[in-house]
Structure 1
Amino acid sequence: MRIIISPAKQMREDRDTLPPRGLPGFLPETGRLLTALRNLSPAELQKLWKCSDAIAALNVERLRTMDLERGLTPALLSYVGIQYQTMAARVFETAQYEFLQEHLRILSGFYGLLRPFDGVTPYRLEMGARLAVDGCRDLYAFWGEKLARALAGESGWVLDLASKEYSRAVLPHLPPSLRVVSCVFGELRPDGKVVEKGTLCKMARGEMVRWLAETGTAHPDGLPAFQGLGYRYDPDRSTGARMVFLKTAQSSAV
């Protein structure tokens, strides 16, 4: 099993909790992206990043001093966001870290594909950014089939817990023989439609990663047992490739 999740925009440095175990697998590609970003003016970077003046200034300075091989933080501990806060990886035990190192992969516009303990440095580059590199019009074209090939070579099936922006960089390129299971975390509307809400969905993805690590679940047949944050598996709305988890009426009212 390989679980794919999205990164977070906000990042931190943490050189004390746990050390990195290695460098990202696509570091040469990351180096080319770094060169392309450094060739842009601050105004062009802010337009690419679609951010405030303060965030742009912070990340321009990060680009200026960035070192891809020194002073790094394990990827799992570097990202700050709702999904990662809910996952609460800093309080995992050794067995849970080992499970995630084996099974979890973080998709990244800058690094491509990360294992949890690959060393990273704070950056800002979303997968959907329109950055032209090496004759490619954007990052989807730049990464092409590389990330999918890496995933397909590692596992017999993929659990997609990533946002569409990031899963789009992988899923279209996977071989048809590789099973992919996606999860929907939603609420049932009166008209019978299932609606996903952004914040709750991110929380549920983080909670499922935590649950997988705690239970050691690594087969699709085990996924329906997930009941985190008041979600329950709905067999009537699920298929083998799309598992639907609905918030119960009691948990939705809280």
Structure 2
Amino acid sequence: MLVLLPPSEGKASSGPGEPLDPGSLSLPGLAGARAAVLTELVELCAADEDKAREVLGLSEGLRGEVAKNAELRTAGARPAGEVYTGVLYDALGLATLDAAARERARDALLVFSGLWGAVRVDDRIPSYRCSMGVKLPGLGALGAYWRGPMAEVMPEAAGDGLVLDLRSAAYAAAWKPKGAVAERTATVRVLHAPTRKVVSHFNKATKGRIVRSLLSAGAAPASPGELVTALRDLGYVVEGEAPGRAGRAWSLDVLVDEIH
């Protein structure tokens, strides 16, 4: 099972430690694309703070994020699973999983990123600010920029098992499963049961809880149909069925009344 996650907008500080080693990151086929984005982002933020803040869509109160980006090559790096914070990652609670579940997380989770393309939770990265919605002056819109490199590496990363796609729309734009991979892919919406509407907090928190539940239970669904069974066994209310056409991903709805 491969689980595709969005990053968090806010991130924990880099803190002390050895700086980024680009060669140590997972998916080495993305190395060239990562180097290009990193170089432009660092140079932009080091050269013109106001322009960088405009490009990155940052408010005056987040001006310090520009300076942080300018120091990405020398800032301390830490596991991505510690860098990403926010509602989904709080609910996932990587640090509080037992040893076996943490090992599963290292193998199963892949976090998409405007800067890195995608990283595993144990890849060591510095804290940064660069969403997939950013349009860099040289490389252009990052969602479009990453499509080519991702198309090269993701089919192999997906393997021959289930792909559970929990990304938000901006990050899903960087890679869309096709063909046989799409048929093994399930996307998930979380709906507030009384209103049957997507509510941001319910959506993010429940996705984090779903991943935690699967990892903690040692569940290993090999297909979207097996995922539906596994989630129902874990107590989730799931609606969805196989798509009507070949080469299409499954679309599942998880209904929740409240977040505990």
Q: Give the TM-score normalised by the residue count of structure 1.
A: 0.83
Q: Which moved more, 1:121-130 or 1:44-53?
A: 44-53
Q: 2:167 — aligned with what?
A: 162
1:46 counterpart residue number: 53
Segments of 5+ residues of structure 1 without an aligned counterpart are none
SS in 2 for 1:153: helix
Residue 110 of structure 1 deviates from its aligned partner by 0.3
Per-residue CA deviation, residues 138-166 of structure 1 (Å, 9 max, x unaligned), is: 11222123224322112223111111111
Q: Output the CA distance in 2 between the equivalents of 1:8 and 1:106.
A: 9
| One-letter amino acid of the structure 1 residue matched with residue 49 of structure 2 | P
How much has 1:175 moved relative to structure 2? 2.8
Match of 2:78 in 1: 73
Q: Distance in 2 between matches of 1:188 and 1:79?
A: 28
Q: 1:228 to 1:162 in 2, by over 3 A?
A: farther
State how far apart, in whole Å, the 2-side matches of 1:50 and 1:132 are: 13
Query: In 2, Cα distance between the equivalents of 1:183 and 1:195?
Result: 13
User: How many equivalent pairs are there?
Assistant: 236
CA contact (8 A) 1:132 1:139 kept: no
What is the match of residue 67 of structure 2? 61
Q: Do the aligned residues in 1 keep the contact of 2:143 with 2:174 (CA within 8 Å)?
A: yes
Quick check: 2:166–2:207 contact (8 Å CA) kept in 1? yes
Equivalent-residue separation in structure 1 for 2:50 and 2:229 (angstroms) = 48
Is structure 2 residue 258 aligned with structure 1 residue 246?
A: no
How is 1:136-147 mapped onto 2 (pairs within 5 angstroms)?
136-147=139-150
Render the CA deviation track for 1:19-68: whole Å, top value 9, x for unaligned.
x9942433442232122123332111111222222312x22221232227
C-alpha distance in structure 1 between counterparts of 2:31 and 2:135, whole Å: 20
Percent of matched pairs sharing the same residue: 22
Tell me the residue number matched to 2:180: 177
CA distance in 1, matches of 2:16, 2:190: 34
Q: What does residue 246 of structure 2 align with?
A: none
Distance, in Å, in 2 between the alignment partners of 1:51 and 1:227 is: 41
Give runs of aligned pairs for residues 1-254 of structure 1, distance below 5 A.
Answer: 1-12=1-12, 13=14, 22-24=24-26, 25=28, 26-40=30-44, 41-56=48-63, 58-67=64-73, 71-133=76-138, 136-154=139-157, 155-156=159-160, 157-171=162-176, 174-178=177-181, 179-188=184-193, 194-219=196-221, 220=224, 221-226=226-231, 231-234=236-239, 238-240=240-242, 241-248=250-257, 251=258
Look up the SS of the partner of 2:103 in the other structure. Answer: helix
Paired residue secondary structure (1:145): helix
* Cα distance change on mapping 1:15 and 1:162 into 2, 3 Å: farther
Alignment deviations for residues 171-222 of structure 1 (CA, whole Å, 9 cap, x no partner): 1xx33111211111102466xxx31111110001111111111012221314
Q: Closer, same or farther in 2 for the Cα pair 1:15/1:226, shift >3 Å?
A: farther
Letter in 1 for 2:57: K
Q: Which amino acid aligns with 1:116?
A: V
Q: 1:99 Cα deviation (Å)?
A: 0.6
For the residue of structure 2 that corresponds to 1:212, the secondary structure is helix
Contact 1:14 1:77 in 2 (8 A): no
Kept in 2: contact 1:185–1:244 (CA 8 A): yes
